[in-house]
Each structure stands twice: as C-alpha cells, then as structure tokens.
Amino acid sequence: MKRFLVTGGAGFIGSNFVRYFLNKYPDYTVWVLDALTYAGNTDNFHDLWDNPRFAFFQGRIEDAALVDNLARNVDCIINFAAESHNDRAILDPETAQKTNFNGVGVLLEAARKHQHVRFHQVSTDEVYGSTDGEFKEGDPLEPNQPYSAAKAGGELLVRAYNVTFGLNTIVTRGSNTFGPYHYPEKLIPLMITNAMQDIPLPVYGDGKQVRDWMWVLDHCIGVDIALHQGKAGEIYNVGGGSERHNIDVVKGILAALGKPETLIRYVTDRPGHDRRYSLNTEKMEALGFAPRRDFEVLLEQTVKWYVDNEAWWRKIKASDDYQNFTKKWYGDRK
Ligand SMILES: NC(=O)c1ccc[n+]([C@@H]2O[C@H](COP(=O)([O-])OP(=O)(O)OC[C@H]3O[C@@H](n4cnc5c(N)ncnc54)[C@H](O)[C@@H]3O)[C@@H](O)[C@H]2O)c1
C-alpha cells in the first residue's frame, strides 16, 4: 500500500491525519477528495500544498464517476468524509444519510471494482448508543441520532462488502476527538471560541453527559495502526480513555482562559441526546495502541491553539452558514 485516497481530508480529523501520515511515511502518496462542505477547509492543510506527494480534488463521495477515476489509481481508500455534526443532522437528516450512508456505498463499489488492498471506514462510538458500562466491538448497534444511524448504516455496508464480496475492510470506531482545526460548532472549540468572544456558552441539559475524549493525534495513530495491522473484516474501538462530564470540560476551558463561569448558559437538551459513551479498547491495545491520558494538559494545548489561531476560527464564525445555523439551532434552545 503506497497510494491512498483520503476522503474528507479537508475536515478536522482528516486534515490532521493527512499531515501525520505524509510525515510518518515518506514513500506514501495521499490524494484528498473532499466536497468542501461548510466543515471542509483548505486552510486546514495550508502547509501541504507544496508537498509533491499530496494532491487535492474537490468533489462528493457520492459522485460515482469521479470516485471511480480516483480510486482506480490508488491502493487504499480511507473514508473520513461525513456530515459529522449531530445537531445539523437533526435539522437535515437527509444530507447526513446521503453522505454517511450512500456515499460509503459509492466508495465501496469503486474499491470492489478496482480490487483494493484495503478499505478503511472511520466510524464512531456513537453507533452503539448510550451506556452505563462499556462498549465492546461485538455489541449491538443502537444509534439514537440521525447522524449516528447514518454512520451505522455506512458501517453495515462495509461489513456486507467484506462478507459478500471478500473486500479487505477495516472499521475503526473512534471516540470524541479534540485538538487543532476542530470546527467551532462542536463542544470544545465552541466553548473556547465563545469564551474568547465573551458570549454565552450553551450547555445542553444538566451538562452531566459523559464523553470519552481522545487527542486528535491519537485518533490518527489509531487509524494508522488498525489500517496497517488490523485483520480484514474486523472492527476496532479507538478510544481516548479520558471520560469527563461535559460541564467539567466547559469549566476547565473557562479556567484555562481566565473567564468567569457566569458565561455558562444551560439550554434545552438536544433531543435523543446520548448520556454516556465508553469504549473498551483492549483489541486496539493488543496492537500497541496507547492513547495519551493527560486530558487536562491536552485541553490547555487546544485552548492555546485557538488563542494562537484566532483568524482561522473568526473567519468561520463570521460566515453566513455559521451564523444561520447558530440562529436556527440555538434560537429555540432558551
Ligand atoms: N470529531 C469526532 O469527535 C469524531 C469521533 C469519531 C468519529 N468521527 C468520524 O471521523 C470522521 C471525520 O470527522 P471530523 O470531525 O473530522 O468531521 P468534519 O466535519 O470536520 O469533516 C468532514 C469532512 O468531510 C467532508 N465531506 C462532507 N460530506 C462530504 C461528501 N459528501 N463528499 C466528500 N466530502 C464530504 C467535509 O467537507 C469535511 O471536510 C467522520 O467520519 C466522523 O464520523 C469523528
């Protein structure tokens, strides 16, 4: 495997992955296919344009002709492309289905046709639903949100292509990820940037939801390990092992910025909001995966990145799309 098609590579995790991957493997070539939706941003790989082993193509993963043309020239497809925001998928489930389900089907068809060495689907712990215990890879999928249901559907297509057609597939189910280039609609970057702007920090419900946080570089390493060492047809949980209540994360951000907790506004909870995610990662650990557990240190580093990269997120927050979404979604959540 030397030539890779990385879909969704202009987004948060995808762009971090492409940078990590090109640095780590000097003989690899990476082509990024990305639709540049509201969440895709070529600024996220501003430092990669001059790299002769990197190329960018704008387009949708549901575009079969385009995907076919690219896929015939690579050994492996790694699919990060998704409508990744729960709130947006509640407002517009159809778009989430198109990308997270139909798009995966188009990529799988191209992989089947061109006899790929490997197809890697980047999935999420949200496909399991909510838990008081911990999720293992064989547990039933009980997604509760339009986003996670569409992701679960995409994963099941991957499984079917492995079983029916013998396609060499891998699925990783990642936990909540954070770090640089995270679009400022998700919990951590939203809270950091709102606090920097001295505007209210909207916290859903009682703020006691639990998420298992993973540093973005660890997510990239997890995908790398599973891609290179994972067994065909297998699924791997990739978790950070750092469970925190949302409200404690928010308070940690305010403390790091020296801002008052009076900025916190409790707002109507997201419908169908999962209470807690928790991953058993023994299968990945057996392959050598060992994520960083110093969450508070990494959170401070993330805060610093947003302080140092104000122009990046201010441009996004000033966009019509961002403003319209925020008005529509938070306008009703008093
Ligand atoms: N962020 C997390 O905490 C997290 C956790 C676990 C798994 N994941 C999964 O990781 C992947 C990446 O997540 P992210 O947070 O980087 O998302 P993101 O929203 O930041 O990036 C998604 C990228 O996909 C692109 N895209 C969207 N629809 C497309 C389409 N139809 N065709 C081509 N490109 C399209 C967007 O332009 C964007 O660049 C997703 O598959 C997501 O489900 C994310």
Query: pLDDT tens digit string along 175-222?
Result: 999 999 999 999 999 999 999 999 999 999 999 999 999 999 999 999
**168 CA from centroid of ligand 1 (Å):** 22
**What type of residue sits at position 23?**
N
For residues 182 and 191, give the distance between their C-alpha atoms in angstroms, rounded to a whole number. 12
What's residue 331's pLDDT?
85
DSSP, collapsed to helix, strand or coil, labels residue 190 as helix
The closest residue, in CA terms, to atom 26 on ligand 1 is 81
∠ CA 43-71-159, nearest 5°, is 100
Question: Would you give the DSSP letter of residue 135?
Answer: B
- Residue whose CB lies within 8 A of the most ligand 1 atoms, among 18, 33, 37, 173, for a mutation test: 37
pTM: 0.98
Question: Would you give the DSSP letter of residue 279?
Answer: B
For residues 104 and 154, give the distance between their C-alpha atoms in angstroms, rounded to a whole number. 6
Give per-residue pLDDT as tens, 212-262: 999 999 999 999 999 999 999 999 999 999 999 999 999 999 999 999 999
What domains, with CATH codes, occur in the chain? 3-177+213-238 (3.40.50.720)
What's residue 170's pLDDT?
98
Give per-residue pLDDT as tens, 116-169: 789 999 999 999 999 999 999 999 999 999 999 999 999 999 999 999 999 999
Nearest to 12 by CA among 238, 312, 240, 212: 312
Q: What is the ipTM of this complex?
A: 0.99
List 38, 147, 161, 306, catalytic entry: 147
Give per-residue pLDDT as tens, 17-31: 999 999 999 999 999
For residues 151 and 156, give the distance between their C-alpha atoms in angstroms, rounded to a whole number. 9
Give per-residue pLDDT as tens, 284-328: 999 999 999 999 999 999 999 999 999 999 999 999 999 999 999
Q: Which atom of ligand 1 is nearest to the CA of 41?
A: 39
Judge whether 119 and 161 are in contact, CB under 8 Å: yes
Q: Tokens standing for 88?
A: 């947006």
What's residue 89's pLDDT?
97
Ligand 1 neighbours, Cβ below 6 Å, are 7-8, 10-14, 34-37, 39-40, 60-62, 80-84, 99, 103, 122, 124, 151, 174, 176-177, 183
